[in-house]
Amino acid sequence: MKPIARPVYLNLFRIHLPLAGWVSILHRVSGALLFLALPLGVWTLSVSLSDAAGFQQVAAWLALPLGKLGLLLLIAAFTQHLFAGLRHLALDVHWGVGLQRARQSSLAVMLATLGVTLLAAWGLFA
């Protein structure tokens, strides 16, 4: 029996990942980003609730373009994590596990994330 030639390493930039794979990876990345941003969010909330000056300070930070961009990034991460999580829950109870339905739900997650993020960007930067 001849041994099967297997790759020595996997080049993730050369592998063609289906959309469902990207949704799964982005779900994990967005969850990690939200987890890492949690202390900053709690601290910002604490400053804003301390007194009127703290609230004005946080409002001034969020009025800056970099603050708006950071907030938009967190909104995008939250919406992607939410929609992909709902998709994963549906797959766990065997809803939409067929290939065509799985592809459609992956596309729906990405489009919903993009739509909500664009709405948030319009509200933040308009």
DSSP 62-99: HHSHHHHHHHHHHHHHHHHHHHHHHHHHHHHTTSS-SH
pLDDT per residue as tens, the chain (126 positions): 777 777 677 776 777 889 999 999 999 999 999 999 999 999 999 999 999 999 999 999 999 999 999 999 999 999 999 999 999 999 999 999 999 999 999 999 999 999 999 999 999 998
* Domain edges within the chain: 20-125
**C-beta separation of 78 from 33 below 8 A:** no
- For 20-125, the fitting CATH number among 1.20.1300.10, 1.10.10.60, 3.20.20.70, 1.25.40.10 is 1.20.1300.10
pLDDT, position 63: 96
- Three-class secondary structure of residue 51 per DSSP: coil
User: What is the pTM for the complete model shown?
Assistant: 0.87
Q: What is the pLDDT, as a whole number, of residue 7?
A: 64
